[in-house]
Amino acid sequence: MFKSKTLRHAVVASLATLSLSSSVMASDEPIKVGMMLPFSGVYGALGDATRNGLKMALQEQASNLHGRKIEYIEIDTEARPERAPEIASSLLNNSEADFIIGPVHSGVAMGMLKVLRGQDTVMIVPNAGAGPVTGPLCSPNVFRTSFSSWQPSYPMGHVALEKGYKKVVTMSWNYGMGKESLDAFEESFTAGGGEIVKKILVPFPKTEFQAYLSEIASINPDAVFVFFAGGGAVKFVKDYDALGLKGKIPLLGSGFLTEGTLEAQGESAEGILTTLHYADSLDNELNTQFRSAYKQQFGKASDIYAVQGYDTGLMIASAVNQLGGDISNQNALIKALESTTVRSPRGDFTFSTAHNPVQNIYLRTVENGENKVVEIAAPALADPARGCKL
């Protein structure tokens, strides 16, 4: 399935009648890291944070790269899925990137997979949660360092049951990430005896929520579970409060409901419960060090996207170190990546057979404008990776 870079190097060497050791060759050639991230548009800040975290980790780990330099090839996807195959093909065939990092947007991820699955590169997804990436479209050369859409939402079903909620309304935009998140919550909630009394799917990217919230008020469920992010999350939370639902019907969500949105949501967000694989307030030494170093280097606070980029860099450095700097044998590189334990600001995590993180999911509550960790809602949670044949 995979072309051998070792063989390609051997052919070149024999033609030139050279006798170079693989260790010398490894130190002379840079490791090429291609980035397919949004650096402009609505997701530009997310791409920038991911890039910052990735470069920061590889700078910190320079002594573990066995003399290898890093060459970055950065391409702005503009979060446009239709551009993904062309960009991925360029990084694969023209740049011959050893690693291709991206994307943020799940639609772009699907376009990348069409080109990169089973090819002579390693694709690492630092954000996009699309289930098929580590599900039915999984591949030996594809890894993810963030989350599957299933992971943050599934534990909240158990949380809701523990709080005595029996009837819940779920709501999201009508697109992949939203629907997969609602399905994950429903899976755990109904398995424990809960009932979804209404599922509301809003056309994307509509943010006129008043009619839907009036319907929820008339249903009067025990709680509401939602997936919204970014500007939509800000608008939803403020509308939920303005229409008088806050304090009457508890609001639960996938962690992106209150991630990077709290300043804009203000008092309306207080008391919301979410589940996610990270929180800025995580009380561990690595997180404290990371946040301080990031702020000093980039002049702004880190976020979950910076953490995911950072962890991607740590993962690459670990594999390069395990292999003594020689990553020319792709099967050996994949095995090194699979065996990596990432010492992350979010807590240590490993990789499942499908190459998705096996990680803690934290229950968080908004308190004084911050996502405060209540507890670990699901320790070392592995995505079920349905349909993956690895």
Tell me: do 229 and 377 sit in the same domain. yes
**Claim to verify: residue 372 and residue 239 sit in the same structural domain:** yes
DSSP tag of 55:
H
DSSP line for 180-212: HHHHHHHHHHHHTT-EEEEEEEEPTT----HHH
The pLDDT of residue 104? 94
Domain count, the chain: 2
Residue 42: what pLDDT? 82
The residue written with tokens 């050996």 in the block is 332
Q: In terms of domains, do 246 and 374 share one? A: yes
Same domain, 95 and 221: no
Bridge partners of residue 373, in order along the sequence = 364
- Is residue 360 included in any domain, yes or no? no
C-beta of residue 258 within 8 angstroms of C-beta of residue 272: yes
In terms of domains, do 167 and 267 share one?
yes
What CA–CA distances, in Å, run from 122 to 185, 261, 263, 312? 31, 33, 37, 12
DSSP-assigned states of every residue in 238-271: HHHHHTT-TTTS-EEEEGGGSSS-HHHHGGGGTT
* 209 and 269 in a common domain: yes
Q: Are residues 271 and 163 in the same domain?
A: yes
Q: Answer yes or no: is 53 within a domain.
A: yes
Distances (CA, A) of 272 to 56, 317, 352: 32, 37, 31
The helix/strand count (H/E) of the chain reads as 13, 13
Mark whether 186 and 95 lie in a shared domain: no
| 8 A C-beta contact, residue 301 and residue 48 | no
Q: Is residue 5 part of a domain?
A: no
**pLDDT at position 26:** 52
Residue 236 lies in a domain: yes
> Residue 246 domain-assigned?
yes
Same domain, 108 and 89: yes
Query: Could you read off the pLDDT tens digit of each residue along the chain, which spans 390 residues?
Result: 444 444 444 443 333 333 334 444 556 799 999 999 999 988 899 999 999 999 999 999 999 999 999 999 999 999 999 999 999 999 999 999 999 999 999 999 999 999 999 999 999 999 999 999 999 999 999 999 999 999 999 999 999 999 999 999 999 999 989 999 999 999 999 999 999 999 999 998 899 999 999 999 999 999 999 999 988 999 999 999 999 999 999 999 999 999 989 999 999 999 999 999 999 999 999 999 999 999 999 999 999 999 999 999 999 999 999 999 999 999 999 999 999 999 999 999 999 999 999 999 999 999 999 999 999 999 999 999 999 999
Question: Which residues face 200 on adjacent strands?
Answer: 171
Task: Let me know whether 227 and 319 are in one domain.
Answer: no
| 253 and 112 in a common domain | no
pTM for this predicted structure: 0.91
Q: Would residue 132 count as lying in a domain?
A: yes
Identify the CA nearest to 366 among candidates 303, 295, 275, 285: 275
> Is residue 182 a part of any domain in this protein?
yes
**Tokens 């573990």, located at residue:** 64
Structural domain includes residue 10: no
Residue 103 domain boundaries: 31-147+283-355
Residues 245 and 107 in one domain: no
CATH number of the domain that residue 215 is part of: 3.40.50.2300
The answer to whether the beta carbons of residues 105 and 41 sit under 8 Å apart is no
